[in-house]
Structure 1
Amino acid sequence: MTFATADLCDAHEDRLADGTLRVLDPVFRLFGRAQCFSGPAFTLKVFEDNTLVRATLEQPGAGRVLVVDGGGSRRCALVGGKLGELAQDNGWAGVVVNGSVRDTLELNACNVGIAALATHPQRSQKRGGGERDVPVQMPGTTVRPGEWIYADVDGVLVSATPL
């Protein structure tokens, strides 16, 4: 897969203007070997509990991007090395986390793209809470299930339809 988010923005200025193409705030760090990834969004809303994240990544990803609204928490990690391996092994194109990750050396060895706000060594709770397949608030915009995510080293885009 080859694209540049900067080129996509240049080619679709009309869509940026009408809001069918949006840019997440530039607060994400990239992890994983896939420094460029895209696919339809599958959304989760959780808070300091990654039970639903694990359950979702255990399922076939079919080239989708898991978008996790973790409420922006930097008090624990929602994705670590084992979940990065699950994402890779189950065919997820990437994971975008409005929260923290850990085990970055392990994540960087995975053939999947991961964007997150920060790193934190502490694991999350395991209470089993959260919602799936709902609109989620990410830094800069709302992401709806099925919208397209395009991410690279320059940023993360959200498109109402494939570009």
Structure 2
Amino acid sequence: MTFKTADLCDANPNTESINIVDNIGFKDYGGNSRFYGNIQTLKCFEDHSWVEKMLSEDGTGKVLVVDGGGSLKCAILGDRLASLAVKNNWNGVVVYGAIRDSVTISKLPIGVKALGTYPISNTKDTVWQKNIGIEFAGTYFWSDQYIYCDEDGMITSRSKLI
């Protein structure tokens, strides 16, 4: 992919057309550091089973944005789920929380951004919601918006920019 978030910001100076996601420490973990797509949202806390359900669906042209509550005490994405995302054509996953198996994920052809890593994963009987508005890093994320991610950061837009 040849886009750059800096160039997209320059080309769209109207701050109402794009939102810049606050840099709160997201790191690149996937093999693709540049990715974009139609946002699909998920809100879950310390439970990877709901991430698995979402990534089992067709992800063509999509990026899963997961509000994991910012928890760094439980990974909600690992190499098995990242491989499932690749198999189902997801462009990327943004996790407001932790992942694991980072070395293996770095070799997969998918974009992954997360706050950090943690070696333990868990499934619980937790409350979850998909395709709802979620908020973290100073940004509201809505399904059917677009997200653009690269080495410099992340931006969202109500319309497709590239």
- Establish whether TM, by shorter chain, passes 0.5: yes
Tell me what 2:156 maps to. Answer: 158
Q: Map of 1:56-71 to 2, 5 A cutoff?
A: 56-71=54-69
Kindly provide the amino acid, as one letter, of the partner of residue 135 in structure 1.
Answer: G
Kindly provide the amino acid, as one letter, of the partner of residue 67 in structure 1.
Answer: V
Tell me what 1:12 maps to. Answer: 12
Question: Which residue of 74, 77, 85 maps to 2:75?
Answer: 77
CA deviations on 1:24-66 (whole Å, 9 max, x unpaired) are 1112101111111000000000011111100110111012000
Tell me what 1:126 maps to. Answer: 124
Percentage of matched positions with identical amino acids: 40
Kindly provide the amino acid, as one letter, of the partner of residue 22 in structure 2.
Answer: D
Tell me what 1:47 maps to. Answer: 45
Shift of 1:76: 0.7
SS in structure 1 opposite 2:73?
strand
What is the rounded CA distance, in whole Å, between the counterparts of 1:91 and 1:126 in structure 2? 27
Tell me what 1:22 maps to. Answer: 19
Tell me what 1:113 maps to. Answer: 111
RMSD: 1.0
- Deviating 4+ runs (over 3 angstroms): none
Aligned partners of 2:56 and 2:85 also within 8 Å: yes
Q: Which has the higher helix share?
A: 1
Aligned partners of 1:51 and 1:127 also within 8 Å: no
CA deviations on 1:74-102 (whole Å, 9 max, x unpaired) are 11111001011011111000000110100
Tell me what 1:36 maps to. Answer: 34
5+ long unaligned stretches in structure 1 = none
What is the rounded CA distance, in whole Å, between the counterparts of 1:71 and 1:124 in structure 2? 15
Q: Which has the higher strand share?
A: 1
SS in structure 2 opposite 1:7?
helix
CA deviations on 1:88-138 (whole Å, 9 max, x unpaired) are 111000000110100001111111000101111111233253101100112
5+ long unaligned stretches in structure 2 = none
Shift of 1:11: 1.1
TM-score, L = length of structure 1: 0.94
Shift of 1:10: 1.1
Aligned partners of 2:42 and 2:51 also within 8 Å: yes
Aligned partners of 2:44 and 2:126 also within 8 Å: no
